[in-house]
Amino acid sequence: MALEVRNLQGIGMTSQRTRARMVDRLREKGIRDERVLGAMAGVPRHLFVEEALASRAYEDTALPIGFSQTISQPFVVARMIESVLTEKPRNVLEVGTGCGYQAAVLAQIFPEAYSVERIKALHERARANLLPLRLRNLRLAHGDGHAGLEKAAPFQAIVVAAASRQVPQALLRQLAPGGRMVLPLQEGTAQKLVLYERNGRGFVESELERVRFVPMETGKA
């Protein structure tokens, strides 16, 4: 138990003070939603990276997590979550669990959080990373993110953490009326972060900003 508590709190470059500086930088870069900032302040990002990279956990940069995947930079995590938030959050689906960090942040805000990961080894690693946080409202699934998670749909919010060349139609179908989905779209060699909002007539598309994500693959691995 003592080891678990120490790991959660962090020391030195993984301390609560370092995490607070990260949140201050997010404010400076334009993140305004206090629910997002509070969640980012509350989740120990250093638990989700390799021990050798722990001292860099609170830098505003993406870091490798193996399997040619990365943990997204804190600003992008905050930006994506802020873009899908409504006044009364209900449930959210994350596509691309990775190491579990963004799922943990989502679970601080949404009463029901689901996350699907196609790579079995990453799915298991995320489960282990998340265990000390005891997030009873978070459910992890191993599956193809293109298919979403039909059994838990519809979702008020969907956050896709990999770049797709086309919008997965299954994810649009699983978005609840009034819901929002954010995902990176690949256009040639560039990527853009796009928000989709579902209304009574269909979907409204808004481009947010340029980003760089790993590609969204099909199938399970």
Q: How far apart are CA 6 and CA 27, in angstroms?
A: 27
Strand, coil or helix: what is 187? strand
CA-based nearest residue to 157, from 188, 128, 181, 136: 181
* Cα–Cα distance list, 209 to 94, 191, 206, 214 (Å): 20, 9, 10, 16
The 10 Å Cβ neighbour count of residue 172 is 16
- DSSP H helical segments within 29-73, as ranges? 34-42
Residue 145 in contact with residue 216, Cβ under 8 Å? yes
Answer left, alpha or beta for residue 67, where phi above 0 means left and psi between -120 and 50 means alpha.
left
Q: 72 an active-site residue?
A: yes
From the candidates 15, 55, 68, 72, which is the catalytic residue? 72
Counts for the chain of helices (H) and strands (E), in that order: 7, 9
Give the residue numbers annotated as catalytic, written as ranges.
72
